[in-house]
Structure 1
Amino acid sequence: MRLGDIGNTAAAIHGKPLDGIRVLALEQMQALPYATQLLGRLGADVVKVEPPRGGDSGRGALPAMTDPEGRRVGATYLRNNLGKRSVCIDLKDPRGRDLVLRLAPRFDVIAENSKAGAMARLGLGYDDVAAVHPAAIYLSVSGFGNRADSPYRNWPAFAPVVEAMSGIYEMKRAGDAPPTVAPVGALGDIGAALFATIGVLAALRHRDTTGRGQHVDIAMLDALISMTDIVTNFWSMGLRGGNVGPLIMHGFRAADGWFVLQVAREAHFARLAEVVGRPEWVGDERFATRQGWVDHLEDVLRPAIEGWAAGKGKTEACHALAAAGLAAGPCLDAPDLVTDPHVAARDMLVEVPRTDGVEQPVLVPGNPVKLADMAEGPERRTPWLGEHSDEILHEELGLDATAIERLRADGVVA
């Protein structure tokens, strides 16, 4: 899907579920920006507040492109800020703080993802906002939460930090090898963002029935403990050393790469035996229990499965397994994914044209939330730094050009 494509135009007449909801986002990097981008894709109007000098720190990420004025715009920023408007305000200046407090009552959701307590020290915490806007939904996303006394409260946190602390790195680490860091990208960020989105939607519904706003407090570590639930659950049930129980859940080689297969029930094992031409496995005492599958994976099962797949492509092998009711999927690399028919059919990649002369567009994940009565797009590009400052300060606060220029000259806005 190209930037600006509308997608399912037939559904556009129904609007979007969050039409009319407004979000003021004091945000940076990924955990909160992904959440507010998702809210925007569901119809919310998202205004992003950035520091005048440099903006959101995600703009400094690499790889990067340059905007029309030659400023760097990093990959982290590009994939988390579609459709937003940008206003630059110095929150450390009392006049900047006052601008935000004047803006707050015009928005339904005020969101921030600074280190715990940082917004309160600036006079922009939940109590400060609630004093001028009691119906506000105030969203905080931080490493370890704002509303409980965590021993890690003052630690800075990026996604790999909370991923490590969730236990999943240690569970998957082999021998004396170091942990594999960030094995699935920003799981810690996106996981926190999804719980943040759920919290905001629940708080909005609660406000509909009570008229009251509230503080939604999301700790990235809490989100990761929820997403890596097998760590503590399996440990509590006696599994140790990364063991996930007696089942086939492994990668196998095909002619052009690898595929993953999961077999966890006896009926599925019988189907696997039939597909790979080894029906005798069903009556073999070695495979009478699921533990037997694991014990003989390398000496019996893998050679047979990979021998069957040797003349097939990884996707072809998975089609054959799926036809027998078995769960399998090919291990795709980036070129595979970019050309995958599912990705195209579901509009799951958005092409963002570059502004620095590079022909290859930047690819950004599309909206994974598909609603029958919601249009697929249109997607709007990420805002340039402070692109909408004058527009927002004038339309929302009534500041005239002279007042805005005075603030700009003092470095309060940009």
Structure 2
Amino acid sequence: MVRLPVRVLAATAVLVLAGCGLGEPGGASGPGEAAGAATNTQADATPPSEEQPGGAVSDANAPDLEEPRGAPLERVVDWRPRKLENGEATVSCAAEYDAAGDGVPVANLGYSAMRRAMAACADTGVLRLRYDGKVTADFTALIERTVELADTLGIQSRILDLDSSGGQIEEAIRAGDVIGESGWTLWVREGSVCHSSCVLLLAAGDMRMIAGDVGIHRMIRIGSAATSRAELQQELQAVHGQVREYLQRNGVAFAVADLMMTVPNRDLRLLTDEELDRYGLSGQNAVADDLQRIRLAQKCGESFVRRKEAFFRAFDRECRVGEDEVGAMGECGVELRARFGFPDQQCPAESPLSEYDTALAADGGSDGGKRS
């Protein structure tokens, strides 16, 4: 039986220095390419190293993030050549990872290189982007470019498979806003982590599935000139306000931002499963669910919406509790679907866990199969 993974939640992001853009070797040019307060669970947490500053880091010289809210903003993707300097990314066209692995490496963020890496995913309709590294401007560029190409290629099922110790807060918010507008499932797989500012990414996912560690600690400012507690608080207050506003629009509790002001940066506060649920960082995103409900009722009918809601309640009880692997959660969910009449013949793409259907068809499996 093929082991299948599930959707995961994105986590709080950390500020890190952006890498330099480098040219793309050969190939066709793309657009613009020629232009140039809960129980402390810190026992097993590992603080960031001095060589790679961790924590929820804020750049004192970063441009203001304030922009009008309401309808999604028109985003123009900058396709100037650049390399992924602060992490490693791979693209897979299947949700399953135990047998299929993590796919094709993506280090060159040029248009033609990324399109080649993603082209096969147009056939499966599934894109899984695995990212292991810091949250920086490189990561934001990776997300923006992946979204534009996924839209162009018609790839609807999108999974962001995270392993990150954090990075730049401002970049986490920028990348999170793109994620929130473009229909992603977020994973933190067994053996992976989502620490510090990475948690902000989790907040943005439509669906979050978490088997690894999620942890937070205090924000710090790069190049701070503070000489007193009052000065340091004044420096952090604006960033804290931006984080709170970001969490609010993504349906996550303010308590997460407040915890990011209280846990010492040298420590790490791991969140329990109960806290992840309470703060709105795992499972279905309540804001995305509200927005999708009206559209689904119009397209698929009220019965579909009620069955889908009942499915996810059962999924939370039976699949997320007691499983310690994202793949096992996915297998459980696939088996559970038949009880609620999924996949739906009229709306297969909107059915729960539709990202697994391609792998099931290729494997000759069915929703009624038992896990090995």
TMscore range, shorter length:
under 0.3
TM-score by length of 2: 0.25
TM-score by length of 1: 0.23
